[in-house]
Every structure is written in structure tokens, then in C-alpha cells.
Chains A and B, each alone.
Chain A
Amino acid sequence: MTKPFATVVDIAADIASGKTSAVEVLEQHLARITERESDIHAFNLVTTEQARATAQQVDADIKAGKPVGPLAGVPVALKDNMCTRGIETTCSSKILEGWKPPYDATVVTRLQQAGAVMVGKTNLDEFAMGSSTENSAFGPTKNPLDTSRVPGGSSGGSAAAVAAGFAAASLGSDTGGSIRQPASLCGLVGVKPTYGLVSRQGIVAFASSLDQVGPFTHTVADAALMMEVIGGHDPLDSTSLSQPMPSLTSVLGQGVKGMRIGRLADMPDGCEPEVLARMDAAYAALQAAGATIVDISLPSLSYCLTAYYLVAPAEASSNLARYDGVRYGLRVETGDLHSMYGATRAAGFGAEVKRRIMLGTYALSAGYFDAYYGKALKVRRLIANDFAAAYEKCDVILTPTSPTVAFPLGDKTSDPLTMYLCDIFTIPTNLAGHAAMSVPFGTGAYNMPVGVQVLAPALGEQTLFRVAAELERAS
């Protein structure tokens, strides 16, 4: 499949070699933003002036012969739940509208140090809660491949920005599939790294034990490069792993010969036939490349969605309690403290956020904890056990990323449960803390892209990227 836009790897090489300049590359991307952003609404904020200043600095450094980073001059977009110093960070919520963090998230600092040029902050489902980016307080994002359809979510803006050529790569966050599902729906590569591999410092928390930052790119090689820049230990995040970041760019050509690829023997219902057909093609391609296909089962898979909708809202109910109108963000003045809390939060949060705060508060309440939150934690252990058993038989597991291709705007907004089912294949990875990525593998219904999800155990990124690279070659 030919890629419509220049890749991160090519842009970085061309700027470093002087074939083009950072300013020139930036202006190409800004021109596309000018042309299509009003239709797509990928961004909450385009940081044109800062981007131009950074690009000029990169060009000046290159001209002066100074060493530059691996992403020097590469335009990137950031999901608007990543703190950027002095630049509005809203989580697409009215409650944080106008809030400017006094610090950068670790991943933002690492991108800056690598020379990346930030073009803007992208739209998301409010506080990353959703699968279509329709839950944004600032309006939905459209899928650049078909603007009548959703880009997926919650990192829909980051996916759309790359798919539309507004940025060469972007960062999203994935709590239950929020990178992989929009990557699949927009025809991109999207990575959910092993929990703890990428720092969460400065990422506005949704569900702390599940959240993980990762890239959207056009190619697997781009994703590998982005991962090497943002990954690795961060002393400011206590859950950050101490292991050094494994090299990913170096393993992409190693192929899959002798690898064992797990196939779900008991595929859940609800997948579009075209999606299943692409899965068959993916298995065949890997087999042709020398891998063997092994049937595995994940008996607890059917409980994962329920467990996720207890664990994630429970943590969210606590993480979002700080938006109380006392110190920052929206405050609705009333006569006294408690009614101020109520009025502020009633006005500041959207319906889905409120729904999850209620769910989570209930799940943690005295008398209900054991039946709900406690049981959900047991499911987390069960799915981890299932994966452990499966990984004795195989090296990676392949599933669809999403049961369907991108669906029309408004299709699922009236029924939250249908929306929740979008993440049936992506959620187990987050519950287990494992690594996974979505790789575009042809098209399905309506000629929309289909993504294949590759799952690997914790810190299995090298294997993950080898398989992803093989799928990319075969697609």
C-alpha cells in the first residue's frame, strides 16, 4: 500500500541531510491543516507560531553543524491530555478549558529533545472516555478517509491528524484501546506499549493502572523510531519500568521465521465478515513468511469488558475528583463550598464522564466494593493467567483490532453499551499490562481500513515489531 504522506523516517533523513528544511516540511503540513482542518477538526489548538519557531531553530542548528535529534524537524501532534508548559491542555473538557500547565509531560520533553516540531494539541473524547471522539466538549473529529465516519477514539484527533497529513506522527494514550482502535479505523500503525515502558508523568490520568502513551504513524518503522524516543525509565513516574528501552528499529528486518502465532479458537461474535477475512489473510501471510499458526484460547476474554468498566471508572472517579473548582479550571460560584463543587462539576463534565464517575464511585462504595471492584481485580488476574498459558504455546497473538471498520458519526452515541463493545479486543491487553499494536492490513466494508492487532507479553515489543513489520510488508 503506498502511503499518501511522507514518513517520519524520510522526513528526518531529508532534513538532516539538507535535502529539505524543517520550515519547508512544517509549511507543507500547515498548508494541509489550512485546507482540511475545518472539515476534520483534528485539533483543539494548532500551535503555528511555536511550531515555526521550533522549525527555524532546527534549521539553524543544522546549518550551524550542531548535532540534532532523531526527530529533528518532524511535525508531531499531541493528544490534548498531555501537559505542555504554558500551552492550553483541556482533555476536551469544559472543566479544564483555558488551563495552561506549568510543566511538560515527560514524553513531550523527550520529543522536544529529539527535535520534533509540535504542531498542535488534538481532540479526544472528554478525558479519553470514548471510542469515537464524539464525546469531546468541543465537537467531534471526522475520519479523514471518509468524513461521514468517526476516526475512532478516544485518541481520534491524533489519528486523524496523521491520517490527514497534518502531522507525520502523533501521540495518543491508550487505556482500553484508545490508540489501537482509532489507528485501525484511520489506517495507521498504533502502539500500546507495555505498562510502565513509557512515562505517564504529565499525562492527565483517566485510569492510572491502565493508561499508557504510544505513537500513531504511517509505518511500523516510524512507530519504532517514535517508541525509542519516548520510551524508557522516568524517575518521575513510580510505575515506570527500570529496564532500558529495547531497540526496535534494529529488529524490523528480522522476519517471523519459526515464530508461533496465536489464533483465537473462540472468536467472539460481532465481527464484520470483511474483518474476519482480513484476519485469515494475515495468518496466511505470516505462515507464508515462515511462522506457524497455533490455536489458543482466552477463557476469561468474555469477562474483560465488564471488568474494565469497573476498574477504569473506579480509578477515574478518584482521578477526576480533583476537578473541584478550588485551584484551577472552571469554577461556578455559588454561596458555599459544597454547592460550588456540585455546580462546577455539573457544568464542567459531559454525560459520558459523569456516567463513568457514577459507575466508579458506586463500584468502590462500602458494601459494593467486593462485589464489583474486588471481582474486577480478580478478572484482571484471570486474564493475566490466560495470557500466561497462551504464551507458553505462542509468541504473539493476532486478533482484529476492532470488530468493525469506522462507523458513521452518531451511529452509536445513543447506546453506550454498543460503543463499549468497540474495545472488546483491545481491553484485555490493558488489564494485563501487556504490549500490543494495530497494523493496517487492507480494507473491509465501505473500502475503509482494517487493522490487525498483534499482542505480545510484557516487554515483548521486539517480537511485536517484527511481526508488525512482516504484516506491513505483506499488506
Chain B
Amino acid sequence: MSNASSAPQHSSDLPNGWEMVVGLEVHVELDTKTKLFSASPNHFGDEPNTNIDPVTLGLPGALPVLNKHAVELAIRLGLALNCTVQPSTFHRKNYFYQDMPKAYQISQYDQPINIDGYMMLPGDVRIGIERAHLEEDTGKSTHIGGTSGRIHGSDYSLVDFNRAGVPLVEIVSRPDIRNSDQARQYVAELRSILLAVGASDAKMEEGSMRCDVNVSVRKPGAPFGTRCEIKNVNSIRAVGKAIDYEARRQIDVLESGGTIRQETRHWDDGEGRTHTLRTKEDADDYRYFLEPDLVLLDPDQEWIESIRASLPMLPAARRAQLAALTGANKESESVYVIVERGQDDYVSAVAQAGGDAARALVYVQQAFAEEGATPKVAASDIATLTQMERDAKVTATQAKTILSEMVANGGGDPVAIAAAKGFEALDTSAVEAMVDAAIAQQADAWAKYCAGEEKAMGALVGAIMKASQGKADGKVVTAILQARRAK
């Protein structure tokens, strides 16, 4: 996750000036105790067909009753995505499938609960959110026999209705995404927001967060091209790969004189390609109509405002705050990583204890990957360590060693550890002498270095560090070597 949420990595541009236009439809399961319309548990991984009831199974006479907590989580998410929360309705989306118990899905249609939001991506890129609406999940089919694991050609199918009726929010972006990096950043940021507001556990591997990707290509400024929807994109990495593949496929078709058919395509992660699932012509007519078993959902303004007031600080604001504190770029990888781990409060505690915030950011990013939001090492001890390094009482390398030991032991006094290890930063004149000795010993390397071969510096630095038993400050050594060469 951390790779995707870090600053932009530039994917190769599309050939011949083509531009891709991408919109995402992300389904997330809400983290409620019970289902959207019944009291059955919403819990992943239980024995098949144990979290069921008459409503879940669509038994005759069973009626849906809306789960208030699901509505609250949907509103939390909507507000976090800068949406307007409006009075909303539910519709029936009618189609036959064996894991769809009522043969219709209850979903919000033309009057969704959240509309017109946006999300900011690195580089001040604004991605519009068209809507974030409530709907129920389907059951899960397992097709036994056959070769493809799909219903066609299988011997029989098993259906698990535990997932049927689990509350979902579908977040539909506007087609504002222009490359696969942005798409991955969008999904990663959405995931961070979901976790921050407690709306979902957002585990793509368990299917509690699922992406459908709409891709088309055009020449910049031209009208949107015909789009294809790609399903089965089950990781952030796959989002990027599927988009890049699909855009290139469409360009190939267009450049060889073909046209793009509007269709739904399936991403095969193993093969790294998409293929046709169904065309527009054989798409279902869902015969949407207002769900007569439910009434208008009209949350009162007071409740909406109390939900807004209870929202935590969102990842973007936390990154800005951490960046301001540490002097780092708010789009830097370290800032993203620390906020994603929830360790920004810890960095801030180090600074509060008198520590150097910029160094603390580096320490925490490097050494606390396995720690949660509240690392065991006391913030005040990290503060002391940053001071020791800043004041050149230890070298960066020594500080790193001390830090590792503190993490390994779940804490410790850095002053005591430094003393026990005999760490002290050598003064510059001692280092100068060691540099002289190294140049004499490694004349070959020195000559190469002077000739501009930067790699040759490594042998010299290594020799010096060895001579100093690690007490020389690497940065100081490098600076002296550079100064000598410049003479």
C-alpha cells in the first residue's frame, strides 16, 4: 500500500499523443455489526450460510428494515469526501442470478445519499466524486468442476448467502483520472479515508473493497471515447496494470482502424490482460423502480452535523500538519507512510519533547514499520536521540544503531546505549588524518575518484569507516573527500 500512496511515479506516456480517461467505481463493505436490512451478523469468514435470516434469503413475506448505523457510516464517508448529504431513496435493480436471493438488489439510484464530492491527489489534482450511495451486497457463488472456475462449464455451483445483504457504499468518481498513477493514488487515498473515518476495514484481499474501472482513450481535447468497464480488479497494483493494459489495447484497436465496443471486460491478473465478459447488447435491463418496501431516507440536519463534528482529522490534513511540523514535502513518501501508519501523532510527540522533527520523521519511517500508531519506544527517548545526532554527539550511522537497539528492546536511554557502545563522534581533525591515510593506502581508488568516477568513493569511505570503527560521521567524510578533490 505504501508504494501506491507515495508521491507520483510516472508511468510511461501513451503513444502518439493519446490520453486516457478513467473513472472508478469502488464498492466498500461498511463495518457494521449487522446487515443493511436485517439483524444477521455482517462478518467475514464464517461458515457458509450461517449469517442468514428470512430477509437475507428473500423468503416470501420478509421485509427490509434499514440499518441506521449503515446510514451513519455512509454519511461519515460522504462528508469525508466533501459530498452533499441529501434526502435519498432506494430502488430495486432487477436481474436473475443464483446468489441474488430476491432476484433484485436494493440500491440507491437517481437520488443517492451523497452527491457532488471530490478528493485531492498529489500535485493539486482534483478528482470529482459523482456520488457515494448505499446498496446491499450479493451472496457469493463457487463454481465446482469445469476448468475456468466460472459458472459456464462447471458441474454445479455452491452459494453462500453470508455476504448477501451486507451494506455497501459505491463510490463513483467522475472521469477525471488521466493516468494509472492517479488511479492508484485515488484508490489508496480512498482506502486511507475509509480507515480514518471507520467506515470500512477496506481489505481488498477479503473483498471488502472492490474496484471497477472505466477506461476510454482520446486525443486531448476530443470528446470522450467509448468506454469499457473492467471488473475483477482486486488490488491497487492491479488497478494500475489493468488501466495501462486496457488503454493500450484500445489504442491498438483504434490505430488499426477498428472501433471500441462498449462492453464489460474481465481483468485476468495472471495473464495480465483483459477480455470480454459481456457486450452492451447482452447487458441486463435492470427495470429500476422505487423500492415500495422502504420509505424516503431523510436524515435530519442536526444528526448530519453531529456526524460531521465527530469526524477525525482526515489523512490529507494530517499530512499537511506533519509536513509543516517536519519541513518535509506534504507529498513526500515519508509523510504519506507515517500518516498511513498513524504515527504522525508520535512524531509530533517527539517534537513536543524537544526532539528534531525532521530527524524524527526519518527515524520513525525507517525503524517503526512494524510498530502501530503507538510505538513502544518513549517519544522523549527518540527526542534525545535526535538531539544527540543534531549536536554531533553521535554520527548518523551510530544513531541508526542506537535506534535499532531501542526498537529491538522496546525502549531504552539513547545516552546510556551510546556510552555502552563507546559511541562518540570523532572531531574533524581526527577524521582529516584518517582521510589522509586512506588516500595514501587506496591510491588507485583516489585516482579514479579524482578522474570523476563517483563509485570509487565507496572504497575510500569504507576504509575510513573501518579505521574509525564506525565513529566517523559518513557525511563529514564525504564532505572532506569532495573538498579535497575540488582543490
Contact = CB atoms under 8 A, between A and B. Distances in A.
Interface stretch (A269-277, A318-326, A401-409): A318-326
Given A314-B289, A318-B94, A101 B60 contact: yes
A327 B59 CA distance: 9
A239 B57 contact: no
Contacts of B59: 101-103, 328
A373 B289 contact: yes
A235 interface: yes
The 3 A-B residue pairs whose C-beta atoms are closest, nearest first, are A321-B103, A209-B292, A364-B287
Contacts of B363: none
A208 B292 contact: yes
Interface in A228-252: 235-239
Interface stretch (A50-58, A161-169, A198-206, A465-473): A198-206
Given A208-B293, A238-B65, A318 B287 contact: yes
Contacts of B207: none
A72 interface: no
Interface in A191-222: 200-205, 207-209
26 contacts: A89-B61, A96-B60, A101-B54, A103-B62, A105-B61, A200-B61, A201-B61, A202-B62, A203-B61, A205-B61, A209-B292, A238-B63, A238-B294, A315-B289, A318-B94, A318-B103, A318-B104, A321-B102, A321-B103, A326-B98, A327-B57, A337-B98, A364-B94, A364-B288, A364-B289, A369-B289
Interface string A356-385: 000001001110010001000000000000
A341 interface: yes
Contacts of B61: 82-83, 89, 101, 103, 105, 200-205
A238 B66 contact: yes
Given A102-B54, A103-B54, A204 B102 contact: no
B65 A321 contact: no
B374 to A, nearest CB: 42
Contacts of A315: 289, 292
A15 B59 CA distance: 37
A201 B38 CA distance: 13
A327 B295 contact: no
Contacts, number: 101
Contacts of B103: 318, 321-322, 324
Interface in A80-96: 82-83, 89, 91, 96
A327 B61 CA distance: 15
B96 interface: yes
A457 to B, nearest CB: 19
Nearest to A373: B289
Interface residues of B, number: 30
A200 B63 contact: yes
B164 to A, nearest CB: 11
A209 B102 CA distance: 17
Interface of A: prevailing SS: loop
B58 interface: yes
Given A101-B60, A102-B54, A328-B59, A341 B289 contact: no
A369 B59 CA distance: 28
Nearest to A362: B287
B219 to A, nearest CB: 32
A327 B58 contact: yes
Interface string B274-300: 000000000001011100111100000
A102 B92 CA distance: 25
Nearest to B93: A318
B324 to A, nearest CB: 48
B60 A91 contact: yes
A322 B157 CA distance: 18
B60 A83 contact: yes
Contacts of A365: 285, 287
Nearest to B54: A103
Given A202-B61, A337-B98, 10 more contacts: A208-B293, A235-B65, A236-B65, A237-B65, A238-B66, A239-B295, A314-B289, A318-B103, A324-B96, A373-B289
B151 interface: yes
A420 B142 CA distance: 45
Contacts of B54: 101-103
A330 B377 CA distance: 65
B312 to A, nearest CB: 32
B68 to A, nearest CB: 12
Contacts of A327: 57-58, 101
A337 B151 contact: yes
A239 B293 contact: yes
Nearest to A329: B60
Contacts of A317: 94, 287
A318 B92 contact: yes
Interface in B92-119: 92, 94, 96, 98, 101-104
B411 interface: no
B35 to A, nearest CB: 14
Interface in A96-121: 96, 99, 101-103, 105
B262 to A, nearest CB: 15
Given A101-B61, A102-B54, A238 B295 contact: yes
A322 B285 contact: no
A118 to B, nearest CB: 16
Contacts of B288: 364
Contacts of B63: 200-201, 236-238
A366 B295 CA distance: 24
B474 interface: no
A238 B102 contact: no
Contact of B101 (A101, A105, A322, A373): A322
